[in-house]
Chains A and B, each alone.
Chain A
């Protein structure tokens, strides 16, 4: 049996989609106008999408046969999968921005929570803690990570290199809370149980950060052309100087990008810091002594232990979340832009 083949106009599917959306919007606005309930935008889009998927499938089935119809249906489903992933992103960012702006003010960045009950107060102690702990973690992980990457790319042969590669993979999979427990066990063994300090948090973050640095640096060093190294060797430059003066500068922009992404990855970590850095309401500049607040823990703690004036605590939690997202996005975008600018032919 020959299937009927009727060519559908190229505007048919977009037109059908718009028609479905319009009809669904009208249908949903009837209760909204009569009983004054809120217009349900998610319901509208959902009903329109289902209607479109069914209608376009049926119409294509009648007009062009089952094979084309199946293809059309899958196109709808695959596009829907992408749309579904974007919905939480939009919802999350819009919520954080709209609720976070309530307390995203001067006081928030100039005062700590010491002696604050209810309104007011800020996250300066948490911002300082986050900056110090992340800086310490970076100070530990960047040298270890870069040197390990150099080892793997330039020197690593034999069994040790294989072990290191495998273990870096394993380290990437360590749950962040386990890294926190490790740092705790390490310090508790020497300083007794109940130990809490910023530096232990930095150690925990390093465990999470080192494999990220190694992975990205390894990738960047591997794409440095072999010819550059050979040219340098031919001039009689020893290997270590070749690595330091030829390979590293060539890969520098990629290395910096990788480090920025690694910092962005750990700056939002909550669980390990909750365990080893603890929480406090006061300023603490010394990462080697006593509890230290950090921004992610501040967000968690503001929400988890609300005082009598709940709204003030929730507002602070959202403002902290907004600050975190701004920092992380700035690091990610900065890394992106940097690699975009310096990408073509860094070797000059």
Chain B
């Protein structure tokens, strides 16, 4: 009974526990440091200009440039397809759907995020590619004078355009979930004020919701882009790759992406090829990190702006 009055609640347990949880925090910091260090260490041999890499006889830069191009092309196109859809879905769930079923609808879209990427790959190659192939044929006949749709048309539909369709579907859930959150944060008073002045629902959205959500939408697009850049299996399975730089989207020779090249080549690679692939992974790491940090900066800058 009298024991607790004399002991200060700063016990040995407290010290141990504090050390333990701080240690966990430090583990995170050091893990990320280790990721960067090991990737750099293992890619150094390939970055040496004198290195003779079997899969890249003209040096690492010539090897990685078409891959960076393909990665950026596929991810950017996916973003172009996904952004309007994600905004539409976010608006539909936050402002159009009846409130009672809104959360169920949100869950249905979230289900898309739960599906493993290898299943998307299988679906993309067996269902989507044959379905869109006639569309490519038609696009080439009607709009073949555009560089994007020049022939020869791929007979299988396994082109970079199909890949970006699959990527767009894969980044939709994260982007629409973020858009929904942002739309729901619009000050209700502003929405009601717009409606009270006689605005239609769309006018209210354009005047009150969209201006409020603009920067949030930008950062959600950046996060979606980050996802699309690093997606591996769906691209590796759907695309029929070649080491080219081209804007032709529906031909059988497509620029490959960094991630899919690693997945396809790594199991059979040996010697310096392994180092070259790891160096390519390092490039991907740097690109996605730049994109994610930009997204994060937009968010924090906004949080600060909102606080004042």
Binding site for B on A (CB under 8 A): 67-68, 70-71, 74-75, 77-82, 84-86, 88-89, 91-92, 95-96, 99, 143-144, 147-148, 150-152, 154-156, 160-161, 163-164, 166-179, 181-182, 184-186, 188-189, 193-194, 207, 210, 214, 233, 236-241, 243-244, 264, 267-271, 274-275, 278-279, 296, 299-300, 303-304, 314, 317-318, 321, 324-325, 328-329, 332, 336
Contacts and interface: CB of A to CB of B under 8 A. Distances in A.
B112 A173 contact: no
A186 B285 contact: no
A268 B118 contact: yes
Contacts of A275: 262-263, 266-267
A178 B270 contact: no
A173 B278 contact: no
Contact of A274 (B84, B202, B263, B274): B263
Interface stretch (B56-64, B185-193, B227-235, B245-253): B227-235
B116 A171 contact: no
A96 B284 CA distance: 31
Contacts of B143: none
B55 interface: no
B216 interface: no
Given A181-B39, A332-B114, A324 B21 contact: no
Contact of B203 (A67, A173, A238): A67
B82 to A, nearest CB: 10
Given A154-B21, A178-B281, A95 B127 contact: yes
A160 B25 CA distance: 8
Nearest to B127: A95
B21 A151 contact: yes
Contacts of A154: 21
A181 B89 contact: no
A81 B39 CA distance: 41
Nearest to A150: B21
A303 B111 CA distance: 24
Interface stretch (B10-18, B46-54, B145-153): B10-18
B255 interface: no
B27 A144 contact: yes
A95 B13 contact: no
A174 B285 contact: yes
B25 A151 contact: yes
Contacts of A214: 28
A81 B82 CA distance: 10
Q: What 8 A-B pairs have minimum CB-CB distances, sorted nearest first?
A: A175-B230, A81-B88, A268-B116, A147-B24, A240-B17, A173-B292, A71-B200, A151-B21
Contact of A68 (B89, B200, B232): B200
Contact of A186 (B38, B88, B231): B38
B24 A194 contact: no
Given A164-B29, A181-B278, A274-B266, A96 B285 contact: no
A145 to B, nearest CB: 8
B244 interface: no
Contacts of B107: 336
* Residue among B119, B201, B205, B233 facing the most chain A CB atoms (10 A cut-off): B119
